Structure 1
Amino acid sequence: MSLLSRYKFSFTPQELVLMLITMVWGGTFLAVHHAMTVSGPFFFVGLRFATAALLLALIARKSLRGLTLAECKAGIAIGAAISGGYGLQTWGMQTIASSQSAFITAMYVPLVPLLQWLFLRRMPGMMAWAGIVLAFTGLLLLAGPKGGSLAFSAGEVATLLSTLAIAGEIILIGACAGKVDVKRVTVVQLAAASLFSFALMAPNGESVPHYSPYLLFSALGLGAASAVIQVTMNWAQRSVSPTRATVIYAGEPVWAGIVGRIAGERLPGMALLGGALIVLGVLISELKLKRKAKRTSPNEASG
Structure 2
Amino acid sequence: MMPTLQSHPWPTLALVLITVLWGCTFIIVQAALSLSSPMFFVGCRFAMAAFILLLFSFKTLKDTTWQDTSAGLIIGLAIAIGYGTQTMGLQSILSSESAFLTALYVPLVPIIQWILFKKMPRLMTWLGILFAFSGLILLTGNHSLDLSFSHGQLLTLMSAFAVAIEIILIGWFSKRVNIQRVTIIQLISASLFAFLSTPILGETNISTPTWQFWAIIVGIGVATALIQFVMNWAQQYVDATRATIIYSGEPVWAGVIGRIAGERLSTFAILGAILVLIGVLISDLKLKKSNKNEI
Q: What is the TM-score normalised by the length of structure 1?
A: 0.74
Q: Which runs of 5 or more residues in structure 1 are unaligned?
A: 1-11, 293-303
Matches within 5 A, 1:155-170: 155=152, 157-170=154-167
- Aligned residue pair count: 278
Contact 2:107 2:133 (8 Å CA) reproduced: no
Kindly indicate whether residue 53 of structure 2 is the aligned counterpart of residue 56 of structure 1. Answer: yes
Q: Which runs of 5 or more residues in structure 2 are unaligned?
A: 1-8, 291-295
Quote the Cα distance in structure 2 between the aligned partners of 1:105 and 1:285.
20
Quote the Cα distance in structure 2 between the aligned partners of 1:192 and 1:139.
30
Match 1:219 to one of 206, 217, 220: 217
| 1:278–1:238 CA distance, 2 compared to 1 (3 A) | closer
Structure 2 counterpart of 1:228, one-letter code: L
Q: Which residue of 2 aligns with 1:9?
A: none
What secondary structure sits across from 2:198 in the alignment?
coil
String of CA shifts for 1:138-173, please: whole Å, max 9, x gaps. Answer: 555532428xx6557655554443232122112112
Contact 1:49 1:193 (8 Å CA) reproduced: yes
Kindly indicate whether residue 178 of structure 2 is the aligned counterpart of residue 175 of structure 1. Answer: no
Quote the Cα distance in structure 2 between the aligned partners of 1:65 and 1:55.
17
Per the TM alignment, residue 189 of structure 1 is displaced from its structure 2 partner at its CA by 0.6
Per the TM alignment, residue 26 of structure 1 is displaced from its structure 2 partner at its CA by 1.0
Structure 2 counterpart of 1:38, one-letter code: L
Kindly indicate whether residue 94 of structure 2 is the aligned counterpart of residue 81 of structure 1. Answer: no
| 1:289–1:161 CA distance, 2 compared to 1 (3 A) | farther
Quote the Cα distance in structure 2 between the aligned partners of 1:152 and 1:272.
28
| 1:178–1:105 CA distance, 2 compared to 1 (3 A) | same
Query: 238-247 vs 67-76, which deviates more?
Result: 238-247
Structure 1 counterpart of 2:207, one-letter code: P
Q: Which residue of 1 aligns with 2:5?
A: none
Quote the Cα distance in structure 2 between the aligned partners of 1:19 and 1:171.
18
Kindly indicate whether residue 191 of structure 2 is the aligned counterpart of residue 209 of structure 1. Answer: no
| 1:90–1:238 CA distance, 2 compared to 1 (3 A) | closer
Q: Which residue of 2 aligns with 1:256?
A: 254
Quote the Cα distance in structure 2 between the aligned partners of 1:74 and 1:161.
21
Contact 1:48 1:194 (8 Å CA) reproduced: yes
What secondary structure sits across from 2:87 in the alignment?
helix
Q: Which residue of 2 aligns with 1:118?
A: 115
Structure 2 counterpart of 1:257, one-letter code: G
String of CA shifts for 1:93-129, please: whole Å, max 9, x gaps. Answer: 44433x7755654543443211111233222222333
Matches within 5 A, 1:236-275: 237=234, 249-266=247-264, 269-270=267-268, 273-274=271-272
What secondary structure sits across from 2:42 in the alignment?
helix
Structure 1 counterpart of 2:211, one-letter code: P
| 1:111–1:245 CA distance, 2 compared to 1 (3 A) | closer
Contact 2:109 2:165 (8 Å CA) reproduced: yes
Q: CA RMSD in A?
A: 3.6
Quote the Cα distance in structure 2 between the aligned partners of 1:202 and 1:215.
21
Match 1:24 to one of 18, 21, 24: 21
Kindly indicate whether residue 52 of structure 2 is the aligned counterpart of residue 39 of structure 1. Answer: no
String of CA shifts for 1:12-35, please: whole Å, max 9, x gaps. Answer: 888776655433321101110121
Q: What is the TM-score normalised by the length of structure 2?
A: 0.76
| 1:109–1:37 CA distance, 2 compared to 1 (3 A) | same
Contact 1:110 1:285 (8 Å CA) reproduced: no
| 1:234–1:132 CA distance, 2 compared to 1 (3 A) | closer
Contact 2:12 2:238 (8 Å CA) reproduced: no
Matches within 5 A, 1:86-105: 86-94=83-91, 95-97=93-95, 101=98, 105=102
